[in-house]
């Protein structure tokens, strides 16, 4: 008998992550693969019979294991199998087992088979790293696979658009197409009775070709399944034009004899709904609504939710419910249900939990009980709820182990107003309904749910007429919940997602679970009271975890979503004084991200206390773009209470926070819509005559720290007699500091320059003129050094709610938030040093001179060289620019790895000396293409530049790291008394700053190794 789990282990995988289709003990965990389990046969002609099992990575399928011998007699079997698996839309690979070895092939609907094993052979010759390589590197990044959800979306959109063009109402079009889809689902799974098949003139493929046959099938659907099955009256069907049935008739077209052709084309006949999970359909429905009803979706603030994110949220929430013994009987509410992605996922999870609790698979009666008693959804979009109803019907049938006879699948009650509730349908003003946030949700839903989960709308500034009632409800609820009339629970800028969090506290049972996908502004936005909003929420619920998705926005993790997002997990109870939560920010990881995957990394998870967050609103941004070393530096700088650049400038010149005097952006060109000026004969804009003799700053001349205005052309040469905005002439008077508006800072600095003489500039620049002050030239040169230093850009990166979150440019108000030691407080020595450094830069900008600038500016803040190195490392790998992202993900080079080892050794040696143990750190020789790299920490032993690691031990470590999906693993080898540290082979994890963090963890967690007690 073949020991499949041993083969998985030999290829570097975790045997516990493999599920065997033929193992009874695995069946409950194979529920998400119910379509495969039901379709597998023992017939050798069926390629599905070759399926052995599935290997999961981070609780998602990575590959299907295939018996290569079973396919050996079928030259086309692999092609057909990869297409059938691709229709599931989950596992990206097939692993074909022959003669004890695995070869990996990508799945796809097309015919472009890619042998991933060949790609691995080109980069590593080590079977023991095969599975980790596939999991982390995702070979074949250059060829985009045709994903099933895209195909269904395209076909569904074409069908519905065609129906709407025939003047069929949106709702009726969805119901008609949905009924055809449901019938196709039953047909492909062999569930249609012969009597129904005979309704079509030529069988199944013609069931919806005419009004008569469509009405006949619809009548059977209504009678058999009851419920409110996609409402569509018989009279309406008879009134549809004949062209409508040509469209829906295409949905029923199937491959001849059920054998999918090898050639791929995007049409209904190439699909087999026996293998397409309901979750794929539900995701396609939500994407359809997002594209087809853009204005409605925008007003309602809805975004479709990818299946893998819904899966993650549901699984994490049920893990908590399972610990409390409530998972099998949990009641679940999605208050913004959309097309039902969360409801369908939760339904499947409850079925699994019930199976485990009862010790037997739920039958039809139990499935209905779960549907009617444990699932609930609200929404204001009728079209979405029609799709949700269809999805819930389908999943109830898909998970039924004995769906025949079909009559026993009858649904005894309508889903509408029992399971899914349309809210706000009585509101006559489109886009103005409060839906779940209004009075339509009655007291019968108060504290009724063990889990409230979903993706509520993210829109802000919606201008809802009834918004005051929302803020009033939230304020009253917050006062009562926290027993404090002084508490402020703001809803900044009418953000729709925040009141859903407050409402969830009323719907969830005490100590129940709350899980929402929210806009990332809650974590990072500092203005408009968002920090107060987060503070109030963190008091009112016990936050247990936050996944910050800001870095992976605009990626395949959540396609077509530009906004930063976060996943919030909480317990429905007020937080205790010492409460805290886990906070993790997944990184972009090249092919893994391109494939829609992300790493929820336990090694990079931070523990954050609610008190920390209240005292330091910037905390989550600091830990997102930096780490605890950055936080330490920030705390020390903040403790000095330096004024910000903006505050300092206002102290010198007056003005307001938004508009300090002697500062502002430059002139604006005359526009077609410029207003008439009554003071200048009603001519548009303003006369530019007074600026004619001033030099003008061309963009290509903004280089270097000192501008040579003698080389600039005069403003008069622009031939612009009038301007839309002229600004005060004094703004163009030197000496001045110039900052490019929204500088890209891609070279790791905010580019500034000094003009000692008068100079005009347009609104692409901000100017700060110091001509009214003594020592004005010295002052602007000093400011140039401060703002251009890495410290200023670092401060913006780790504190700004926009830069590095939603925006790449550094905006003026962010620059003005930079801390600034007042020029007047500088010693004579520091003033001389500032003049020397500026003069050196003006002569030639070199990396050496800029390093001296950074170190000198750091000294003004009492920073050490280590602190400056932390800042440099953070900027190198965390700036939101392409070069920095690529550098962070690049494999670590030998020099960086050696520097990491040397710094780690320097940090640990003093601790070893306390126990008379001489510690040494050296690199372990491994292929540069491996997903992980390793260093070895030895005691009282000579180190060598390239340590060799025992083969078995290396496999154990990489399996542990891969199982945990971790960027770091620390393992003590008892035989050699050696501590091995493995980290992902990405440069961001191998900086000298990271070495200091690793040393901290070793000192804290492995003191027995440092002291020698572990080996004793």
- List, for residues 460-488, the tens digit of each pLDDT value: 887 888 899 999 999 999 999 999 888 88
Helix (H) or strand (E) segment spanning residue 162:
helix 148-165
Lowest average pLDDT, out of 43-52, 337-346, 362-371, 699-708, goes to 43-52
Contact at 8 Å (CB) between 722 and 683?
yes
Residue 143 has pLDDT above 50, yes or no: no
Residue 103 — left, alpha, or beta (φ > 0 → left; ψ -120 to 50 → alpha)? beta
Question: Which residues are CB-neighbours of 407 under 8 A, at least 6 positions away?
Answer: 224
Lowest average pLDDT, out of 267-276, 636-645, 756-765, 797-806, goes to 267-276
% pLDDT > 70, the chain: 91
Contact at 8 Å (CB) between 573 and 533?
no
- List, for residues 810-834, the tens digit of each pLDDT value: 777 888 899 999 999 999 999 999 9
Pairing of the two strands 946-947 and 932-939: unpaired
The pLDDT of 731-760, averaged and rounded, is: 87
Contacts 24+ apart (CB under 8 A), 155-162: 155/266, 155/267, 155/268, 156/284, 156/285, 156/288, 157/288, 157/291, 157/292, 159/247, 159/248, 159/250, 159/251, 160/288, 160/292, 161/292, 162/243, 162/247
Can you tell me whether residue 944 is helix, strand or coil?
Answer: coil
Radius of gyration of the chain (CA): 32
Lowest average pLDDT, out of 553-562, 580-589, 711-720, goes to 553-562
Residues 1010, 908: Cα–Cα separation, whole Å: 8
Residues 238, 323: Cα–Cα separation, whole Å: 54
pLDDT recorded at residue 317: 97
pLDDT recorded at residue 548: 97
- List, for residues 908-923, the tens digit of each pLDDT value: 999 999 998 999 999 9
- List, for residues 196-228, the tens digit of each pLDDT value: 999 998 899 999 999 999 999 999 988 888 656
Residue 425 or 31, more confident: 31
Helix (H) or strand (E) segment spanning residue 922:
strand 919-924
pLDDT recorded at residue 121: 56
Q: Is there a cis peptide before residue 405, judged by omega within 30 degrees of 0?
A: yes
pLDDT recorded at residue 151: 86
Q: Which residues of 751-779 are buried (b: 16+ CB within 10 A; e: fewer)?
A: bbbbbbebbbbbeebbbbbbbebeebbbb
What integer best gives the mean pLDDT of the chain?
A: 88
Count CB neighbours of 505 within 10 A. 22
Residue 800 has pLDDT above 60, yes or no: yes
The pLDDT of 297-314, averaged and rounded, is: 77
Nearest to 500 by CA among 486, 515, 512, 511: 515
Chain centre distance of CA 229: 35
What residue segments make up the domains of the chain, in order of their start?
A: 4-137, 148-276, 305-314+325-452, 456-604, 645-864, 890-1011
Edge-first strand order for the sheet with 978-984 is: 946-947, 919-924, 932-939, 978-984, 968-973
Confidence of residue 12 (pLDDT cuts 50, 70, 90): confident
Q: Is there a cis peptide before residue 554, judged by omega within 30 degrees of 0?
A: no
pLDDT recorded at residue 41: 62
Nearest to 177 by CA among 258, 242, 257, 232: 232
Question: Which residues are CB-neighbours of 557 under 8 A, at least 6 positions away?
Answer: 306, 309, 549, 586, 593, 596, 597, 598
Residue 44 has pLDDT above 70, yes or no: no
Instruction: Give the pair of three-digit tokens for residue 443.
Output: 């007291």
DSSP state of 762: B
pLDDT recorded at residue 755: 97
Determine the length of the chain.
1016
Write out the E strands in 16-161. 18-20, 51-57, 60-67, 93-98, 101-106
Within 13 Å, how many C-alpha atoms sit on residue 863's CB side? 27
Contact at 8 Å (CB) between 209 and 281?
no
Residue 428 has pLDDT above 50, yes or no: no
Residues 243, 145: Cα–Cα separation, whole Å: 33
First-last CA distance in the chain = 43
The pLDDT of 53-58, averaged and rounded, is: 92
Residue 42 has pLDDT above 60, yes or no: no
Write out the E strands in 478-586. 508-519, 542-548, 565-571, 580-584
DSSP state of 96: E
Which residues are bridge partners to 607 per DSSP?
A: 582
Contact at 8 Å (CB) between 598 and 552?
yes
Instruction: Give the pair of three-digit tokens for residue 513.
Output: 């679970």
Residue 386 or 998, more confident: 998
Contact at 8 Å (CB) between 96 and 66?
yes
Can you tell me whether residue 657 is helix, strand or coil?
Answer: coil
Lowest average pLDDT, out of 74-83, 188-197, 488-497, 678-687, goes to 74-83
Residue 882 has pLDDT above 60, yes or no: yes
- List, for residues 312-367, the tens digit of each pLDDT value: 999 999 999 999 999 999 999 999 998 899 999 999 999 999 999 999 999 999 99
pLDDT recorded at residue 300: 53
CATH number of 890-1011: 3.90.1150
């Amino acid at each position: 008998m073949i020991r499949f789990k041993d083969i998985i282990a030999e290829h570097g995988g975790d045997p516990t992550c493999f599920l065997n289709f033929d193992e009874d003990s695995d069946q409950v965990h194979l529920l998400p693969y119910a379509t495969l389990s039901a379709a597998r046969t023992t017939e050798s002609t069926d390629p599905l019979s070759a399926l052995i099992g599935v290997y999961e990575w981070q609780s998602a399928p990575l590959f299907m294991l295939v018996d290569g011998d079973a396919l050996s007699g079928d030259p086309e079997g692999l092609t057909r199998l990869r297409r059938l698996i691709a229709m599931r839309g989950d596992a990206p690979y097939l692993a074909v087992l022959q003669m004890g070895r695995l070869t990996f092939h990508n799945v796809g609907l097309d015919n472009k088979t890619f042998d991933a094993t060949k790609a691995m052979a080109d980069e590593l010759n080590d079977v023991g790293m095969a599975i980790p390589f596939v999991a982390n590197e995702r070979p074949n990044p250059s060829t985009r696979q045709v994903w099933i959800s895209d195909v269904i979306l395209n076909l569904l959109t074409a069908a519905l658009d065609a129906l709407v063009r025939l003047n069929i109402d949106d709702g009726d079009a969805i119901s008609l197409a949905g009924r055809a889809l449901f019938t196709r689902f039953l047909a492909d799974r062999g569930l249609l009775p012969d009597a129904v098949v005979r309704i079509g003139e030529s069988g199944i493929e013609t069931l919806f070709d005419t009004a008569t046959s469509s009405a006949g099938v619809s009548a059977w659907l209504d009678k058999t399944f009851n419920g409110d099955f996609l409402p569509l009256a018989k009279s309406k069907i008879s009134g549809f034009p004949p062209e409508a049935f040509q469209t829906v008739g295409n949905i029923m077209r199937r491959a001849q004899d059920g054998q999918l052709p090898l050639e791929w084309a995007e049409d209904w006949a190439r699909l087999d709904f026996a293998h397409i999970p309901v979750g794929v359909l539900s995701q396609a429905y939500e994407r359809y609504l997002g594209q087809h009803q853009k204005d409605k979706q925008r007003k309602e603030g809805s975004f479709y939710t990818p299946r893998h994110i819904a899966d993650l949220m549901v699984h994490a929430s049920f893990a908590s419910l399972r610990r409390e013994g409530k998972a099998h009987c949990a009641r679940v509410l999605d208050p913004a249900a959309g097309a039902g992605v969360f409801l369908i996922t939760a339904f499947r999870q409850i079925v699994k939990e019930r199976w485990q609790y009862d010790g037997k698979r739920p039958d039809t009666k139990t499935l209905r009980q779960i549907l009617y008693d444990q699932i609930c959804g609200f929404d204001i979009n009728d079209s979405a709820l029609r799709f949700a109803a269809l999805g819930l019907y389908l999943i109830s049938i898909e998970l039924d182990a004995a769906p025949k006879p079909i009559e026993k699948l009858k649904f005894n009650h309508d889903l509408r107003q029992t399971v899914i509730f349309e809210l706000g349908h009585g509101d006559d003003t489109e886009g103005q309904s409060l839906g779940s946030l209004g009075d339509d949700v009655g007291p019968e839903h108060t504290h009724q749910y063990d889990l409230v989960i979903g993706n509520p709308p993210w829109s802000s500034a919606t201008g809802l007429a009834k918004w005051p009632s929302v803020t009033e409800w939230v304020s009253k609820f917050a006062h009562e919940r926290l027993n404090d009339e002084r508490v402020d629970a703001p809803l900044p800028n009418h953000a729709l997602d925040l009141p859903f969090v407050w409402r969830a506290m009323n719907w969830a049972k005490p100590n129940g679970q709350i899980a929402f996908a929210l806009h990332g502004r809650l974590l990072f936005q500092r203005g408009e009271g968002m920090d107060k909003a987060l503070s109030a929420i963190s008091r009112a619920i016990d936050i247990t975890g936050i996944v910050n998705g800001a870095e992976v926005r605009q990626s395949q993790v959540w396609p077509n979503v530009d906004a930063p997002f976060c996943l919030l997990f909480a317990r429905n109870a007020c937080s205790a004084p010492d409460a805290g939560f886990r906070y993790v920010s997944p990184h972009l990881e090249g092919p893994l991200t391109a494939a829609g995957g992300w790493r929820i990394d336990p090694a990079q998870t931070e523990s954050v206390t609610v008190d920390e967050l209240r005292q330091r609103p910037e905390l989550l941004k600091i830990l997102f773009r930096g780490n605890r070393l950055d936080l330490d530096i920030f705390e020390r700088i903040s403790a000095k209470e330096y004024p910000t650049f903006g505050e300092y400038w206002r102290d010198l010149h007056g003005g307001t926070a938004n508009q300090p005097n002697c500062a502002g952006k430059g002139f604006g060109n005359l526009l077609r819509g410029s207003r008439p000026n009554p003071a200048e004969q009603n001519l548009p804009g303003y006369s530019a005559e007074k600026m004619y003799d001033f030099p003008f700053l061309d963009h290509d001349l903004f280089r270097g720290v000192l501008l040579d205005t003698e080389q600039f052309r005069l403003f008069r040469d622009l031939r612009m007699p009038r301007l839309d905005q002229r600004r005060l002439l004094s703004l163009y008077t030197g000496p001045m500091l110039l900052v490019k508006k929204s500088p890209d800072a891609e070279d790791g600095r905010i580019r500034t320059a000094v003009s000692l003489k008068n100079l005009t500039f347009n609104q692409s620049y901000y100017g700060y003129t110091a001509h009214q002050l003594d020592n004005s030239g010295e002052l602007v040169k000093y400011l140039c050094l401060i703002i251009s230093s890495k410290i200023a850009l670092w401060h913006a990166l780790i504190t700004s709610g926009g830069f590095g979150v939603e925006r790449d440019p550094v905006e003026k108000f962010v620059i003005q938030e930079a801390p600034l030691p007042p020029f007047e407080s500088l010693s004579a020595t520091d003033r001389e040093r500032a003049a020397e450094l500026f003069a050196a830069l003006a002569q030639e900008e070199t990396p050496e001179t800029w390093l001296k600038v950074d170190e000198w500016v750091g000294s003004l803040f009492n920073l050490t060289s280590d602190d400056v190195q932390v800042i440099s490392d953070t900027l190198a790998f965390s700036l939101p620019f392409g070069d920095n992202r690529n550098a962070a993900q690049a494999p670590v080079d030998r020099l960086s790895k050696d520097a990491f080892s040397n710094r780690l050794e320097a940090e640990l040696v003093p601790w070893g000396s306390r126990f008379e143990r001489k510690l040494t750190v050296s690199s372990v020789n491994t292929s540069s293409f491996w997903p992980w790299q390793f260093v070895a920490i030895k005691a009282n032993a000579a180190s060598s530049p390239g340590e060799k690691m025992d083969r078995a031990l290396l496999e154990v470590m990489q399996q542990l790291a891969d199982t945990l999906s971790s960027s770091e693993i620390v393992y003590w080898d008892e035989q050699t008394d050696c501590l091995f540290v493995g980290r992902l082979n990405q440069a961001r994890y191998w900086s000298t700053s990271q070495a200091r963090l690793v040393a901290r963890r070793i000192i804290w967690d492995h003191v027995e190794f440092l002291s020698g007690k572990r080996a004793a």
